[in-house]
Structure 1
């Protein structure tokens, strides 16, 4: 059985929780408190020398880290990762977009507001992250005006990747009401068989 070392409030950890639920795959959750420095202990760093969650641990003690890499591993051979090379590459395209354009703004704004309580010394950074995040959300909105899911007609790990932080973007101060296509897409993701919420 897999072990997930993570934080239930983390979008990156939630990606794996949602993926395993959709697959009907059992796992053991090992809670990690990042604010208490638990990702920097020698024991944790042995599992992931980069000192970040989530970590997927196998029964033999070996580990995988980086949420999107783990998603690709878990989804391999399933309907959630297309076998067609072009569609598979489009999945990767959105995963790279998430890591370089979406997560650094949307997730960081949420961390500052939701985790830290929006301290005054980070208010300017938060405003900057909102501006960058709205730019990323606009890219998603354009695609979702054309197709029901991020990769054409098929729900995939591209959607899981970007759903994780988008569906809690309001906790970072984002107003999603101006993105009707994203709002409809969020509902379609929640309607997937096997769906589980972040804190369910």
Structure 2
């Protein structure tokens, strides 16, 4: 199978991290999002939504949206709980990541690192800070009580949120005031098979 993505993107990196942790064989197809390679005719045939990551199976079927791919690849492993409530808690955190975390932390990082914090985006960058810190405080509150985000242990919920949280300082979100998050980041980075994200642009 192939995974199309850009490892600088947290949404893509989370899949690379999962594949390393579970030793899933795959071909990584680099897609440069800054050069608009998701808008080529060949890519649009695979994903009309023009976004990465994209999973392309051996039989030609495709799957988009990072957390959907993450859960598909984790089926049958300890990283995706079989208990219905634990599974729902995993999904709760994944929805939180997409709606309450990524729109602030990932976007601020993109403006700062990819665009170089241009004057015309500076107000937007600063406007993202309060929402990002709200999300971090929610995570901090949970991680003060549990080693991982879901009581059942390390799961795809942690991978989903690790991706952009560990590079949050790139978007101006210093983590010094979040000791539980920092300890959690260290635990994830110590897992066998861990692969770091490439250095930020």
Aligned ranges 1:112-123 → 2 under 5 Å: 112-123=111-122
Counterpart in 2 of 1:141? 140
Indicate the SS of the match to 1:107.
helix
**1:153 CA displacement:** 4.7
Indicate the SS of the match to 1:51.
coil
Counterpart in 2 of 1:6? 5
Counterpart in 2 of 1:166? 165
Counterpart in 2 of 1:85? 84
Counterpart in 2 of 1:99? 98
**Structure 2, unpaired ranges of 5+:** none
Please say if residues 147 and 153 of structure 1, whose CA atoms lie closer than 8 Å, have aligned partners that are also in contact. Answer: no
Distance in 2 of aligned mates of 1:60 and 1:34: 26
**1:35 CA displacement:** 1.2
Distance in 2 of aligned mates of 1:198 and 1:28: 17
CA RMSD in angstroms comes to 1.0
Number of residues of Structure 1 aligned to a counterpart in Structure 2: 199
**1:60 CA displacement:** 2.0
Counterpart in 2 of 1:130? 129
Distance in 1 of aligned mates of 2:95 and 2:79: 17
**1:27 CA displacement:** 1.1
Counterpart in 2 of 1:75? 74
Q: What is the TM-score with the length of structure 1 in the denominator?
A: 0.97
Indicate the SS of the match to 2:63.
strand
Counterpart in 1 of 2:189? 190
Please say if residues 86 and 152 of structure 2, whose CA atoms lie closer than 8 Å, have aligned partners that are also in contact. Answer: no
Structure 1's consecutive aligned runs of 4 or more residues displaced over 6 angstroms after TM superposition are none
**1:57 CA displacement:** 0.8
